Amino acid sequence: MKDRRSVDDLSIDELQRVLAEKKRAAREARLAKYRETGRALPAIGTGPDSRLNEARPAPAPRSLVRRLFDIFLLVVEVGAVVGLMYVLYNGANILQRLNEDAAQVIAEGVPTPVPTPLVTAVVLPSGHTPPDPTTGETRPNDDEIPENLRPLVQSFPAPVIPTQGPTQAVQIVIPAIDVNAPVVQGDGWEQLKKGVAQHLGTPDPGQPGNIVLSAHNDIFGQIFRRLDELAPGDEVQLHTASQVFVYVITGAKVVEPTEVSVMAPTAHPSLTLISCYPYLVDDQRIVVFADLKTP
C-alpha cells in the first residue's frame, strides 16, 4: 500500500530511504533507456560470459629444446668468466716476466762501478823532494806515485775541506820531543804548510778508529823532525775545543812511501803519526803508532 503521509509526518530516516529509492529508480530508468538505444555496456564481472569468472589457464610447460638452450647459455656465461680470469692472470704473468727481462737487460748494459783510487790509497802523505841546499826550494814528490797512476792522481780535484767542528782535533802536544802545533783538516800540500795535517775521513779524538796525522820533518817548521826519537810509553795529547785525549806510543817503523796499509782503520781508538824520513833525504816514511790511554 502506498504511504500517503505527508513529508512533515516522516522521520529523517524515512526521508533518507525515500530519497534513496527515488535515486535508484531514476538510475534504473536511465540504464533502461541506454539499453534501448544500445549505449549501455554490460556490467563487469557479471553474467555467465564474464572473463574474470573464467579460470586462469595454467602456464604451458617449457619445451625440452628451450631448457637445453638455457643450459647452453649458462655454460657459455660460466666459460666466458673463466676465460676472462685466465686472460687477466696470464697477462699479469707476462707483464712480470717483461719487467724482469727489462731489468736484467738494463743491469747487463750498465758496467759495474769501479772505485776510483785515491791519492792516499797510492802513497802516504807528506811526501816531498829534499829542500835545495842553497835555495831551500822543495815540491811534492810525484816520483813516489806509481807511473801508471800519475795521470789519474794528477787529474784529481783538490778535496773539499770540512768545516771545523767542536769534536775535531785542533792541537797536538808531544812533550817527549817538544811538539806543540795546530792540527788542520786535510793532508794536502797546502794544509801541511799550516801545521800537523789530519787525513780526511779518519775519526775524531777518542773515537774508535785510526786517526792519521802527518807533518814535515825538514820544511815548514820541521814539526816532526824528531819523530824517530819517540819510544813506547811516550804520550801524545790531542786537544779538541773542550777536551784532551791522551794516546800512548806502542811502536814505530820505517816504510816505503807506498806502504798505505799503515793508515788502515782499527776497531779501537788509535793514532798513527807519519813523516818523511830520513832527514833531508825523504825517500821513505817513519810511522809511529799509539793507542788511546784508558783510565
Torsion of the alpha carbons at 37, 41, 47 and 48, rounded to the nearest 10: 90
Cα 248 versus chain centre, distance = 44
CB of 205 closer than 8 Å to CB of 245: yes
How many Cα neighbours within 13 Å face the side chain of 167?
6
Instruction: Show the cell assigned to 211.
Output: 786517526
How far is C-alpha 23 from the geometric centre of its chain's CA atoms? Answer: 97
- Grid coordinates standing for 247? 794516546
> In terms of Cα–Cα distance, which of 226, 140, 218, 248 is closest to 180?
226
Nearest C-alpha neighbor of 186 from the set 177, 178, 195: 195
How far, in Å, CA of 239 to CA of 145, rounded? 33
**CA–CA dist 269, 265 (Å, integer):** 9
| Angstrom distance (rounded) from CA 255 to CA 125 | 12
Query: Strands 179-185 and 171-174: what pairing?
Result: antiparallel
Quick one: pLDDT at residue 115?
43
Tell me how far apart the alpha carbons of residues 104 and 119 are, in angstroms, rounded to a whole number.
35
DSSP per residue, 230-277: --TT-EEEEE-SS-EEEEEEEEEEEE-TT-GGGG---SSEEEEEEEEE
In this prediction the pTM is 0.59
Give the burial string for 127-149 (b: 16+ CB within 10 Å, else e): bbbbbeeeeeebeebeebbeeee
Tell me how far apart the alpha carbons of residues 272 and 282 are, in angstroms, rounded to a whole number. Answer: 18
What grid cell was written down for 183?
A: 792540527
Residues of the chain short of pLDDT 70, as ranges, are: 1-10, 38-62, 109-121
CA–CA separation, 289 and 211 (whole Å) = 10
228: which DSSP letter? Answer: G
pLDDT at residue 175 in the model: 98
The pLDDT score that the predictor gives to residue 83 is 87
Query: Phi/psi of residue 257, each to 5°?
Result: -60, -25
Per-residue model confidence as pLDDT tens digits over 254-294? 999 999 999 999 999 999 999 999 999 999 999 999 999 98
Dihedrals phi, psi of 210, to nearest 5 degrees: -105, 110
